[in-house]
Amino acid sequence: MSILITGGAGYIGTHTCVELLNKGEDIVVVDNFYNSKPQAIENVKQITGKDFKFYEANILDREKLVKIFEENNIESVIHFAGLKAVGESVQKPIEYYTNNVSGSLVLFDVMKQFGCKKVVFSSSATVYGKPEKCPITEDMTLSTTNPYGTSKLHIEQILRDIYVSDNEWGISLLRYFNPIGAHTSGLIGEVPSGIPNNIMPYISKVASKKLERVNIFGDDYNTSDGTGVRDYIHVVDLASGHLNALSNLREQKSGIFTYNLGTGNGYSVLDLIKTFEKVNNVEVPYIVCDRRPGDIATCFSDTTKAENEIGFKAVRSLEDMCRDTWNFERNL
């Protein structure tokens, strides 16, 4: 029996593949390399010393998905595949809804065809929109501010409706906060195309002098130092959360479960920059710019439910996140 990993060559996907392989799981990976490169697959094999089946395909391609299920005994799916840049989604909403929502519908329909009814879905804290309070709990009101977040919320709703129609399904909705860091080997990490959208790869590019400086969008928020506060989680901790979620589905047999994956701690942009400078002994020049429309002051998770129900707790520190990011950057 194998676990199908969609988008398994991506940032979070590769780290999850490593954790699964190290636990002795059999995996099958599918990716179309839109947000990733073939070398990432080879690096996963190098880190683990294990081989696995890989298919280059888009999840919109039903024929290829059927072939994957025909050729492998798939018992569950961890679903990462999709477009993922918030800003880009505002410019390309049709592409985001087509890839993320329509692609997921094709995948779920093929799963149903083959009687595969266990799925761990890569959702996002963006489904909370502008949260009414912090820390954010899983039962808070859901809303979105961009097509990326809306696509994640739509897929969550589709999965809820699938469960209502057939409660033999086991479904885990994992709402990520802000994954950063890299594997300690320095072989896999976040590799954005062009100028990074996310803060940590941007910081590392500035530290390596590939970019001039970090732009901090606003220093007049109601936070300890005026800069925005977010819940940053090490990508390896995040990856391990998928194993906890999958284990829970295997034990429970069926049901639909929703969990925040974060640390439960908020760190400001300046915390991130200063910690990165300190642990790596580098300089990260920055300037303060105007706030960006739609940004909020503070956003961090309540992780109580994940800890109590699936035994998940992030263990890596902000220092670990910064150190591992820089180690990966220097290996590029």
Which are the catalytic amino acids? 148
**Torsion sign (Cα): 204, 206, 209, 210:** positive
Q: For residue 311, give Cα distances in angstroms to 130, 139, 304.
A: 28, 19, 10
Cβ-proximal residues to 148 (8 Å cutoff; 6+ apart), any chain: 83, 84, 85, 86, 88, 89, 96, 100, 124, 126
* Alpha-carbon gap, residue 48 to 238, rounded angstroms: 18
* Alpha-carbon gap, residue 298 to 222, rounded angstroms: 8
DSSP characters over 207-230: HTTSSS-EEEE-S-SSSSSSS-EE
* Alpha-carbon gap, residue 92 to 82, rounded angstroms: 13
User: Which helix H or strand E contains 274, and what residues bound it?
Assistant: helix 269-280
**Contact in structure between 312 and 238 (CB atoms under 8 Å):** no
For the chain, the residue count is 332
Strand, helix or coil for residue 259:
strand
Nearest residue to 10 (alpha-carbon basis) of 148, 190, 184, 172: 190
Total Cβ atoms within 10 A of residue 295: 13
Query: Based on the number of CB atoms within 10 Å of its own CB, is 291 exposed (0-12), middle (13-18) or buried (19 or more)?
Result: middle
